[in-house]
Structure 1
Amino acid sequence: MQSFIKVLSAILFAGLFPIVAAAQKTDKLLSDLLRKNPELFGPILQDPAKYDVQIIYTQINRDPQNRPVFRSYYYRYDRKRYFYPASTVKFPAVLLSLEKINELKAKYPALTPNTPMLTDSAYARQTAADKDPSSASGLPSVAHYAKKIFLVSSNEAFNRLYEFIGQCDFNNRLQQKGYRDTRMLHRLSVSMTADQNRHTNPVRFVENGQTIYAQPAQVCAESFTPDSSIRRGAGFMRNDSLIRQPFDFTEKNAFALGDQQEMLRAVMFPEAVPAKRRFNLTTDDYRFLYQYMSQLPRETTYPNYGADTSLHDSSGKFFMFGDNKGKIPQNIRIFNKIGGAYGYLLDNAYIVDFDKGVEFMLSAVIYCNSDGIFNDDKYDYNTIGYPFLANLGRVVYDYDVKRKRPERPDLRKFMVTYDKQQ
């Protein structure tokens, strides 16, 4: 027994035995980039655990055939460290909805992402949706919901796609593709129990008064909640009362940062990821995604967001531009999905500069809740979150512009036509 203890101690001392602390990954490159800019990141660097920061920066080099080669760098990355993913969960909702349409087309060939999708109600707290005045037809559809998700991060649009996919399929399909640190458990911005979120609405796809496909109400009998509880903060507001105990995130959505960037890579570079991690998408689907993931509100016809003065270019682009209301230069395009809720602020992006031949991926989350109280509407997005993500994007961009590339990338694949050309 004593010999075993000695051997075990030697292994631990040598750092060869996996311990909990080793789960967090930090690379020197990212750490140095932050430390070289103390005027931008000083408070975060002094106490990064307080801000729950995680970053993944992925360099992209091209070979002579323009094939991408990736190298990722991490800062405090821990795939098991929970953060609330907010609206970033809408990205897989779009992908799985498009995939489901493609699979249904084998039996219902008239079905497309633009076919009007009418949602009915059949269970407690469910609501129906049979109109959408912001679309060209005045009717909702998978494609129009997807546009609203990428352009203004519509919660209702996510909820309708969640209902179309169904909770079991949402989770099982992602897990089968290898996104195992992800859980989709609830709709957004509606108060529902876990049981009510397991139940999803009946849906009909109708064209010219004819039903092309009808999906009955569904209920997910499987459980996707984690084995152990997840609690954060010092308290939370319930109605007008402060409850002085940690807030329970156990039955909330989860979407690890690594899964987020891997999923983005599967969409932007499907040929460069294993087949099992890809989504069943058509060429038209990819063009649609590249357009609306990078299109700005002022460039959009339906919905007509150009008339909304509260929507700036940076409304959905936190990296590089999230701390200002100016126009994003035309040579820079950001293909991304942002999120912000419960004090967590996130962006998951593929960023290109067509003029300079620059491309890279960047994903990050920061916790902006200095008082530790949830649901009090006192989050530090403006003072901490937006400046951090904007500065991080600019610092990484400046570094990536200057680094030597073996080949200049051919980025024409990502040059798309927008609704309104500026």
Structure 2
Amino acid sequence: MIVSRYQQTLLKGIGPKKHASGLWLLIGLTFAFMPLNSLFSQENRAQLLNQITRGIQDSIFQKVYHHPQKYRLQILYTQINRDKNNQPHFTTFTYHCSPDGYFNPASTVKMPISFLSLQKLHQLKPYGVSKDSYMLTDSSYKSQQIIHRDTTSMSGQPSIAAYIKRIFLVSDNDAYNRLYEFLGQGYINTQLQKKGYTHTRIDRRFYPMNEDQNRHTNQIRFLDPQNEAIQYKQPAAYSTDSFHYGKQILIGKAHMDSKDSLITGPYDFTKGNRTSLEDLTNMLKAVLFPQAVNPKKRFNLSAADRKFLLQYMSQYPGETNYPKYDTSKFFDSFTKFFFRNAGHKLPRYIRAFNKPGWSYGFLTNVSYIADFKHHVEFMLSCTLYVNEDGVINDNKYDYETVGFPFMTTLGQAVYQYELKRKRTYKPDLLAFKLTYEHRDTTNNRPLIRDIAD
């Protein structure tokens, strides 16, 4: 039995001191054929992150990092090591990460909804439906919305493609609601369970609706973009699936109700959307590296689907012509929390393929970072809760003063570590080097300054 050179280096980096190396090597030999992650307890998996963050002087960062229970902090860092054939191998380190550790997923659920929407479209190919087909959403039940136009798209018509763009560029809520209705509650959760994402449940829109209304989804019509003839009519649907919500989740000391009245007592998150940092990371990994994950966990996506997703996961609002966002508000790092510095700019040689979420004081980011200049890549996911006054739904959260600074400091610390980390084989990142749009400066259309976020 032989411990690989990479395993020896890793174990040395986070293991006991030199005088105990003989015992440590014996343990390594004993478990040589076990997955590397299984060698580490929760405490040991945190040691590398502790090492990386130890020298950070920022007081905000240290306050959050050393009080993980108060801030509901979870971190999941994945090193990627390529073999001689450029195949990726993953080693994950976690800090207070648990599938049962609740956080409000907010807009992160828009990521699997986007993946599943492109997957479901494959069922409609016989009818000629594509991601660019016009998608007209009708009202079929109380409180449902009618959407027959999209003034942000080039055609002026809504489509799956246009909605996915808006989701990844600026995290648009309206776009998510339309895709939720296209998929239906039953399809969403059945598919995620089948793929092994068992800690994820998506059962509601981002729109004021009760449990019954969220089970009902709209009739949808798809039109041919060329002649606007109906390609397919999807009937209204109702999900009869039952959900096991588990232990009640109550957070905060007070909350604002739907009438903006202050209610003494915690807010009940029990029946809302739910996920885990592990599930979200693995979903992203399944799209970024489909050949490196269990086929069961993959989404049924074509090469063109995947390229489309990668482009808009990593493209900036300022590079995009449709929609045409105001870059003073929707700057390059608007959704790139690990690089959200004062200048709001990322180096041109770095791209972040990610999906963030922020709501009720919870701030989450699931990301893959590629540095094409230094041949560096890694995955980093983090969630934390920043709501010092303990009042939920009052729109007074500590994103700017605590959340975003913590995310940026964490991202930069891990990135600097990755720049120095030795690799046996330099990764070929050509698959992630994409051609992006360029904003047409001669087009004088009005800028979009507000979204349903």
Report percent identity of matched pairs. 48
Cα distance change of structure 1 residues 54 and 297 upon mapping to structure 2, 3 Å threshold: same
Structure 2 partner of 1:194: 211
1:45 corresponds to which of 65, 69, 83: 65
Per-residue CA deviations over 1:86-130 (Å, capped at 9, x if unaligned) read 00000011000000001221x32x211111111000101001111
Match for residue 86 of structure 1? 106
Name the residue aligned to 1:122: 140
Partner of 2:418: 400
Deviation at 1:199, TM superposition (A): 0.4
1:248 to 245, 268, 271: 268
The answer to whether structure 1 residue 297 and structure 2 residue 297 are counterparts is: no
**Aligned 1:12-411 pairs, distance under 5 A:** 26-40=45-59, 41-105=61-125, 107-108=126-127, 110-188=128-206, 190-207=207-224, 208-238=227-257, 239-305=259-325, 307-319=326-338, 321-411=339-429
Shift of 1:346: 0.8
Q: Tell me, in whole angstroms, the C-alpha distance in 1 between the residues paired with 2:44 and 2:254.
A: 29
Q: Give the deviation of 1:293 after TM superposition.
A: 0.4
Structure 1 residue 157, shift from structure 2 partner: 0.1
1:304–1:421 Cα change, 3 Å: closer
What is the CA-CA distance between 1:38 and the residue it aligns to?
Answer: 4.1
Cα distance in structure 2, aligned partners of 1:314 and 1:400 = 20
Gaps of 5+ in 1: 1-21
Per-residue CA distance 1:247-294 (angstroms, 9 max, x = gap): 100111011100000001000000000111000101100110111000
How many angstroms apart in 1 are the aligned matches of 2:51 and 2:386? 23
Rounded to whole Å, the distance in 1 between the matches of 2:43 and 2:131 is 40
Post-superposition offset of 1:242:
1.8
Detail structure 1 runs of 4+ shifted over 6 Å in the superposition.
Answer: 22-25
Moved more, 38-47 or 147-156: 38-47
- Cα shift at 1:421: 7.7
Q: Are 2:413 and 1:413 equivalent residues in the alignment? A: no
Deviation, 1:209, is 2.7
Instruction: Give the match's secondary structure for 1:419.
Output: coil
Q: CA deviation at 1:300?
A: 0.5
Q: Is the 8 A contact 2:42 2:96 kept in 1?
A: no
1:23 deviates by 8.0
Alpha-carbon contact 2:253-2:266 (below 8 Å) kept: yes
Q: Deviation at 1:240?
A: 3.5
Letter in 1 for 2:328: T
Deviation at 1:81, TM superposition (A): 1.1
- In the aligned structure 2, how far is the partner of 1:387 from the partner of 1:161? 32
Coordinate RMSD, CA, aligned: 1.5
Aligned residue in 1 for 2:449: none
What is the CA–CA distance in structure 1 between the aligned matches of 2:65 and 2:346, rounded to whole Å? 28
Question: Structure 2: where are the runs of 5+ without partners?
Answer: 1-40, 441-453
| Aligned-partner Cα distance in 1 for 2:200–2:42 | 17
8 Å Cα contact 2:42-2:94 kept in structure 1: no
Separation in 1, partners of 2:44, 2:316: 34
Following the alignment from structure 1 to structure 2, what is the Cα–Cα distance between the partners of residues 85 and 128? 26
Task: Give per-residue Cα distances to partners, 1:224-247, cap 9 Å, x unaligned.
Answer: 241321111111012342211111
Contact 2:334 2:344 (C-alpha < 8 Å) held by counterparts: no
Show the counterpart of 1:3. none
Structure 1 window deviating more from structure 2 (157-166 vs 282-291): it is 282-291
Q: CA deviation at 1:48?
A: 1.7
Q: Distance in 2 between matches of 1:262 and 1:244?
A: 38
Take 2:44 and 2:154, find their aligned partners in 1: how far apart are those partners? 47
User: Counterparts of 2:65 and 2:293 in 1: how far apart (Å)?
Assistant: 34
| Structure 1: distance between partners of 2:116 and 2:282 | 15
Range with greater deviation from structure 2 (324-333 or 148-157): 324-333
SS at structure 2 position matched to 1:113: coil
**Distance in structure 1 (CA, Å) of the matches to 2:65 and 2:435:** 41
Give the TM-score, by structure 2 length.
Answer: 0.85
SS of aligned partner of 2:334: helix
Q: Deviations over 1:374-407 (max 9, x none)?
A: 0111100001100000000000000011010011
**Partners of 1:24 and 1:78 within 8 A in 2:** no
User: What secondary structure, in the 3-state scheme, does the structure 2 residue paired with 1:395 have?
Assistant: helix
Partner Cα distance (2:44, 2:313) in 1: 29
Local SS of the residue matching 2:308: helix
How far off its partner does 1:355 sit? 0.3
Q: 1:133 and 1:240 mapped to 2: Cα distance?
A: 31
